[in-house]
Structure 1
Amino acid sequence: MAGQWFESVAEAQRRARKRLPKSVYGALVAGSEAGVTLDDNTGAFRELGFAPHVADLPAERSLATTIMGQEISMPIMISPTGVQAVNPEGEVAVARAAASRGTAMGLSSFASRSIEDVCAVNDKTFFQMYWVGDRDTLAARAERAKRAGAKGLIVTLDWSFSHGRDWGSPSIPEKMDWKTILKYIPEGVSRPKWGIEFLRSGKIPDLTVPNIPVDGSVPPTFFGAYGQWMFTPPPTWADVAWLREQWGTDSPFCVKGITRADDAKRAVDAGATAIQVSNHGGNNLDSTPAPIRVLPGIVEAVGRDVEVIMDGGIRRGSDVVKALALGANAVAVGRAYLWGLAAAGEVGVGNVLDILRGGLDSGLLGLGKKSVQELAPEDLLIPPNFARTATNS
């Protein structure tokens, strides 16, 4: 729409900050503890340079690829993020925007919209699960996702509940009711457009998570589901292998949260067909290196055996180029599309994806590549000691 277009993810973030109440915006930018990992996720990309060509450049370039069994128009997919109450349509708006750009949607089990609603608008949807509940519950949740049409399962293992933040944690209410709304009126008054948008939709920000129940029961609140997660014993690799069997050995199965080569190998041994190199957007154990730093070692260890997806710090198309050159098959974006969603809803998410696609295409042109599959480490200027490797294998 005229007047809503923006030319960078940084501008989407600026508009999101201007539009959202302080506590809502704070939830989007939060990282754990001192924010060392949060800063490194973006800062590490700045250390990588390009080695461009200036002639014999390809007039046409192919960005298309395949990830987890799905043909996508570009190696950029939506990473699953929890309760997207920055817009009345939430995850459905994101899924529509991704579908309109021909790419895949990752839906969180802590999302504000159901797996059924999202699969109805994007047939390239992967369902993400946390380890919440006993085995029977986990198997039933996976079966629900498959019945809804999910094309693959993403199992997230990377969160140690390290949530203390030096600058304070964002204020997130237990639930949204009229008492809570009255409490947050001062914040809403300072950002009236956001509140008016919800009023016009006939909705209030929904903090329940409809993808947790498997028996038709009332969905828990976000913090209710969070509590269930915290009190569920952490899974073993044997548990992961069990869930892989439950999901079905003929369907894509991704393990998310890998930052070590030995964990990557264990994920492969457990039956993963893909791994997602990730530190939970800087919300796991602070001082974990940026995913782009650990990516080369993980690709070397398992890149011939499984697909490798990377998330964390993607803000422009050139970041995507760097991740692909270091061996990722695709990248997943999180905060970038959430800022687009906050700035302009479905249109804003599409805008962010177009920005990333345009930057990726420009990178291919400058490097003289006809397709994303041709990118290699030799296209980058990599400083000494850039990479980080941790393994006990």
Structure 2
Amino acid sequence: MMTPHSLRVDKVLKHFSPIVRPLLNFRAERRLEKVVNIADLRLCAESRLHKMIFGYLDTGSDDEISLRRNKDAFTEIEMHFKVLAGLAPPLDLSTKLFGKNVDIPFFASPCAGNRMFHNEGELAVASVAKENNSVYCLSSVSTTSFEQIRQVLSHDHPKLFQVYVWKDRDLLLELFQRAKQQGFESMALTVDAAWYGNRERDIRNGLTVPPSYTMSQIYEALKAPAWTWDFLANPVFKYALIRDDLPAESLAHFVNSQLNPAFSWDDASWLVKEWGDTGPRAIKGICRPTDARKALDIGFTTIWVSNHGGRQLDTSPATIDILPAIRKAVGPNVEIILDGGIQRGTDIAKALALGADGVAIGKPYLYGLAAGGRHGVAKAFSILRKELDRAMGLLGVDSIEELKSDGDRLVQKRGCSMRDTQGARYSHAGLI
């Protein structure tokens, strides 16, 4: 099919970008300046994005019950604060994750195809990770290469490579070698996405990567001129780690054919051995204490508690609800990362108090990326960093270590009312 990119329209439009792009992004930048919290950032993303792309970013699976549970579960946790702690800002938010000293206990979770949301893509996220001295995690379905990330982040910056068990194991081993050459010392195997979740918003919106050129999609593109200009005025994005000689639409079939729904614990054990002892090895997508213990037995060093942001098996439990049981099962010395439902700095504090060593954020930074590229990602990090600092001050703890060690006295589970789940977590577009 003939498309604007096949006609190389981007070669022409790029010359007009210095004039056109600021004009088209003026309103988006004004909205971004007024953002107060992550809920505001979500509305900025919705306003700038093509409807289909926002739906992909925002959706959960089936009835989106787990998507809501992930968030609402945090409202069921009370914070029992200490007073007269004699603390003055800023507090110590530093900790150690994946064997590296970092300045904040949260980082951007890996996501496929960041350039789908904004042309600055993974480079914008890497730049903000550098600014905050936080872990950077690159998806194996990235639209930016290891080498490009290396131009932003030093060899020693804490970097994590997220992988799947591809059917083509030679390809996976090649990716391991390239990752290590560019300073990616840690690996995370995603295990909860071998079967693809039923994301009905994507079906209704006719999601294709990149967008198809139907009349309805063209109409939605006209309603999102800033995003559409970026899409048309730049080279078509590619899955840069897999085949950088093919555009994304040609690679979609290749990627789908490589995901192996039949992979098992034996495959995971093989992968751990192939990565070797060069750095931490995380398993992402753990929901059961028994699976956490089994993962440790075969050589994983980090347990990543996740239900894929409520995008896979609907009605799976909220990750914050299962965190204490997994911490009890693996003991106090195993590193645990948690994601799912994080929208506030208080959410991060609760996760750390209940047993997590670190927190991965997904939607918050992606809303920022979609809303304004690097500036938007930086806004998301700044909001959460300030909220976490304030939450710790109000709790009466001056460090991450104190928050973790006193956690069972600082937070307690309670039942929630419908009134608890109202407020900034909701908007005219629904739950965030």
The normalised TM-score by structure 1 is: 0.89
Contact 2:31 2:44 in 1 (8 A): no
Is residue 192 of structure 1 aligned with residue 228 of structure 2?
Answer: no
Pick closer, same or farther for the CA change 1:217–1:335 going to 2, 3 Å: same
The structure where helix makes up a greater share of residues is: 2
Structure 1 residue 99: deviation in Å?
A: 1.0
After superposition, residues 116-155 of structure 1 pair within 5 angstroms as 116-122=147-153, 123-155=157-189
CA distance in 1, matches of 2:280, 2:309: 23
CA distance in 2, matches of 1:378, 1:151: 35
Asked which structure has the greater CA Rg, the reply is 2
Structure 1 residue 161: deviation in Å?
A: 2.7
CA distance in 1, matches of 2:227, 2:247: 25
Match of 1:339, as an amino acid? Y
Structure 1 residue 240: deviation in Å?
A: 1.6
Q: Deviations over 1:101-152 (max 9, x none)?
A: 1111111111211122123213322110011123333222211211222121
SS of the residue corresponding to residue 180 of structure 1 reads: coil
Stretch moving more, 97-106 or 48-57: 48-57
Pick closer, same or farther for the CA change 1:165–1:183 going to 2, 3 Å: closer
Structure 1 residue 3: deviation in Å?
A: 6.5
Match of 2:5 in 1: none
Match of 2:16 in 1: none
SS of the residue corresponding to residue 275 of structure 1 reads: strand
Match of 1:254, as an amino acid? A
CA distance in 1, matches of 2:163, 2:214: 30
CA distance in 1, matches of 2:328, 2:176: 31
Match of 1:390 in 2: none
What residue ranges of structure 1 are gaps of 5+ in the alignment? 386-393
Q: Deviations over 1:61-82 (max 9, x none)?
A: 2100110122111101110011
Identical aligned residues as a percent? 35
Match of 2:388, as an amino acid? L
Q: Deviations over 1:84-104 (max 9, x none)?
A: 211111111111111111111
Stretch moving more, 13-22 or 299-308: 299-308
Match of 2:69, as an amino acid? D
Match of 1:363 in 2: 391
Match of 1:388 in 2: none
Match of 1:71 in 2: 101
Structure 1 residue 167: deviation in Å?
A: 4.9
Match of 1:80, as an amino acid? P
Pick closer, same or farther for the CA change 1:250–1:167 going to 2, 3 Å: closer
Q: Deviations over 1:155-186 (max 9, x none)?
A: 1001253533455634322446xx73887321
Q: Could you say what the CA RMSD is over the residues aligned between the two structures, in angstroms?
A: 2.2
CA distance in 1, matches of 2:297, 2:179: 24
Match of 1:36 in 2: 65
Stretch moving more, 155-164 or 371-380: 155-164
CA distance in 1, matches of 2:113, 2:410: 38
Q: Deviations over 1:44-65 (max 9, x none)?
A: 0111111112313322521001
Structure 1 residue 268: deviation in Å?
A: 0.5
What residue ranges of structure 2 are gaps of 5+ in the alignment? 1-28, 417-432
Stretch moving more, 65-74 or 162-171: 162-171
CA distance in 1, matches of 2:108, 2:50: 24
Structure 1 residue 219: deviation in Å?
A: 6.5
Match of 2:297 among 252, 255, 269: 269
SS of the residue corresponding to residue 315 of structure 1 reads: coil
Contact 2:209 2:248 in 1 (8 A): no
Pick closer, same or farther for the CA change 1:269–1:164 going to 2, 3 Å: same
Structure 1 residue 245: deviation in Å?
A: 1.7
Is residue 50 of structure 1 aligned with residue 84 of structure 2?
Answer: no
Is residue 300 of structure 1 aligned with residue 328 of structure 2?
Answer: yes
Stretch moving more, 315-324 or 232-241: 232-241
Contact 1:41 1:290 in 2 (8 A): yes
After superposition, residues 1-393 of structure 1 pair within 5 angstroms as 4-5=32-33, 6-60=35-89, 61-84=91-114, 85-122=116-153, 123-165=157-199, 167=201, 169=203, 170-175=205-210, 180=213, 184-199=217-232, 202-204=233-235, 206=237, 208-213=238-243, 218=246, 221=249, 223-230=252-259, 232-375=260-403, 376-383=407-414
Contact 1:212 1:225 in 2 (8 A): no
CA distance in 2, matches of 1:162, 1:151: 28
Match of 2:130, as an amino acid? A
Structure 1 residue 233: deviation in Å?
A: 4.9
The normalised TM-score by structure 2 is: 0.82
CA distance in 2, matches of 1:248, 1:100: 30
Match of 2:144, as an amino acid? R
Structure 1 residue 204: deviation in Å?
A: 4.9
